[in-house]
């Protein structure tokens, strides 16, 4: 068993993982209770796919793979130098993980490679299921149990080199010696809790998705609650504030052994985004996690960032969006124009109110005129 584990560690490194650990396949009973309580209290926002049945299945490795004995947990760092934001135009910030090729594809390929190497090294085939984010398992709890890292107060897993890691796992029927969880914690540090501009970390280890900028900009479909908009700053896709302020990340972050890809889309020019059509969006963000928010979601986010940055030069583009875009974008364009508040922006709002038919967009325009 011990030599099998040594093989797992060697192969994982060869497959491109920064960290690997082994967890037992015992049920995640305690974690299931916590998550179900959070779900029942509405803390997971409106994620149609995040259901009670999914959580129960994900917390029961036997339901995932009958005969499961061990879970191999892996982590890939996505830390790298931060390129400077271009000085021309108005740019929105993008969460660090989305600077690279979609990690689901990269990590799944590496996990398949790892399984292949192990089957060859062990000289036998074994049953396995692999997951990266989109499966029912609680990836962070698997990683914590496998000693990859500990749970931070911002709810992220912190390795010894911080939280800039993405996680995946192989559930297998192999009998492997489990690793021990790290005996570490945030101690008295609470830097991330007050740093969240929307107050999403409602108390240590508790995140209210409804307030999290990552949730609002990536997962949330429909209008962004009005009270959240001014707090979102210039984030257009995801958010890293609770990780940026973490002292472990500030002191210990180490570049990835095998980067997911060269960085791209480290920031997005907001007017360009607002003026993009579907075809350009699909082409520009092919293979990027940014596709997940869809064009209308990204344009909604761009309107908010332009409003928060008060970009007067964006008034013509926002005015065009107010006249022609889908209702979701029209309503947020109105909000952006209201925040910018120049006479030109007010004129555009007044003219739009005279012709707009959609009741929600009309309400947004009226409020924006009031704000201006």
3-state secondary structure of 232: coil
Residue 132 found at the interface with ligand B12 (CB under 6 A):
yes
Restricted to residues 310-329, the positions that interact with ligand B12 (CB under 6 A) are: none
Indicate the residue among 239 and 298 with the shorter CB distance to ligand B12.
239
End-to-end alpha-carbon separation of the chain, Å?
A: 69
Indicate the residue among 119 and 155 with the shorter CB distance to ligand B12.
155
Candidates 235, 218, 158, 229; CA nearest to 191 is 158
Tokens of 100: 């690279």
Candidates 76, 82, 139; CA nearest to 103 is 76
Give the angle subtended at the CA of 24 by the CAs of 22 and 29, to the nearest 5°. 130
Q: Which stretch binds ligand B12 (CB under 6 A): 108-116, 148-156, 299-307, 364-372?
A: 148-156
CB of 242 to ligand B12, least distance (A): 5
CB of 109 to ligand B12, least distance (A): 15
Restricted to residues 23-42, the positions that interact with ligand B12 (CB under 6 A) are: 31, 34-35, 38
Q: How many residues bind ligand B12 (CB under 6 A)?
A: 35
Residue 231 found at the interface with ligand B12 (CB under 6 A):
no
Tokens of 257: 């052994």
Q: Closest CB to ligand B12 belongs to which residue?
A: 238
Q: Residue 365: CB partners within 8 Å, gap ≥ 6?
A: 322, 334, 349, 352, 353, 356
CB of 328 to ligand B12, least distance (A): 19
Give the angle subtended at the CA of 154 by the CAs of 34 and 258, to the nearest 5°. 110
Q: Residue 309: CB partners within 8 Å, gap ≥ 6?
A: 90, 234, 270
Q: What is the DSSP letter of 181?
A: P
Three state DSSP letters for 273-341: HHHCCHHHHHHHCCCCHHHHHHHHHHHHHHHHHHHHHCCHHHHHHHHHHHHHCCHHHHHHHHHHHHHHC
CB of 138 to ligand B12, least distance (A): 5
The single residue among 141, 179, 234, 356 that binds ligand B12, judged by CB under 6 A, is 141
Cβ–Cβ contacts within 10 Å for residue 357, how many? 7
> What's the rounded Cα separation, in Å, for the pair 233 and 305?
6
Indicate the residue among 151 and 266 with the shorter CB distance to ligand B12.
151
Residue 15 found at the interface with ligand B12 (CB under 6 A):
no
CB of 101 to ligand B12, least distance (A): 14
Restricted to residues 52-91, the positions that interact with ligand B12 (CB under 6 A) are: none
Residue 365 found at the interface with ligand B12 (CB under 6 A):
no
Restricted to residues 159-178, the positions that interact with ligand B12 (CB under 6 A) are: 163, 165-168
> What's the rounded Cα separation, in Å, for the pair 90 and 124?
56
Catalytic residue flag (residue 133): yes
Q: Which of 18, 60, 102, 133 is catalytic?
A: 133
Residue 205 found at the interface with ligand B12 (CB under 6 A):
yes
Which residues form the catalytic set?
133
Applying CB under 6 A, the residues found at the interface with ligand B12 are: 31, 34-35, 38, 95, 97, 132-133, 135, 137-141, 151, 154-157, 163, 165-168, 205, 207, 209, 212, 214-215, 219, 238-240, 242
């Amino acid at each position: 068993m011990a030599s099998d584990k040594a093989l797992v560690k060697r192969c994982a490194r060869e497959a491109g993982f920064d960290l690997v650990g082994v967890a037992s396949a015992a049920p995640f009973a305690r974690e299931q209770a916590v998550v179900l309580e959070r779900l029942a209290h509405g803390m997971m926002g409106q994620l149609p796919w995040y259901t009670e049945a999914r959580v129960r299945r994900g917390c029961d490795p036997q339901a995932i793979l009958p005969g499961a004995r061990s879970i191999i947990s892996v982590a890939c760092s996505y830390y790298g130098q931060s390129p400077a934001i271009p000085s021309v135009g108005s740019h929105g910030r993008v969460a660090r993980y989305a600077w690279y090729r979609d990690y689901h594809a990269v990590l799944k390929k590496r996990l398949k490679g790892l399984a292949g190497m192990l089957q060859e090294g062990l000289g036998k085939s074994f049953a396995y299921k692999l997951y990266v984010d989109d499966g029912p398992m609680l990836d962070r709890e698997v990683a914590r149990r496998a000693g990859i890292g500990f749970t931070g107060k911002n709810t992220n897993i912190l390795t010894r080199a911080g939280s800039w890691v993405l996680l995946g796992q192989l559930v297998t029927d192999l009998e492997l010696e489990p690793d021990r969880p790290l005996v570490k914690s945030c101690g008295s540090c609470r830097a991330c809790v007050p740093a969240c501009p929307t107050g999403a970390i409602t108390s240590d280890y508790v995140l209210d998705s409804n307030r999290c900028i990552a949730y609002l900009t990536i997962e949330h479909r429909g209008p962004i609650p009005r009270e959240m908009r001014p707090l979102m700053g210039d984030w257009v896709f995801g958010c890293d504030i609770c990780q940026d302020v973490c002292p472990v990340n500030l002191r210990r972050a180490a570049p990835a052994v095998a980067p997911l890809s060269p960085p791209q889309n480290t920031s997005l020019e907001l007017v360009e985004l607002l003026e993009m059509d579907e075809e350009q969006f699909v082409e520009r963000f092919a293979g990027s996690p940014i596709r997940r928010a869809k064009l209308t979601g990204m344009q909604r986010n761009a309107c908010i960032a332009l409003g928060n940055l008060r970009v007067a030069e964006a008034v013509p583009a926002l005015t065009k969006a107010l006249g022609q875009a889908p209702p979701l974008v029209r309503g947020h364009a109105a909000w952006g124009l209201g925040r910018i508040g120049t006479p030109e922006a007010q004129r555009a709002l007044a003219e739009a109110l005279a012709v707009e038919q959609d009741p929600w967009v009309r309400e947004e325009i009226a409020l924006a005129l009031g704000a201006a």
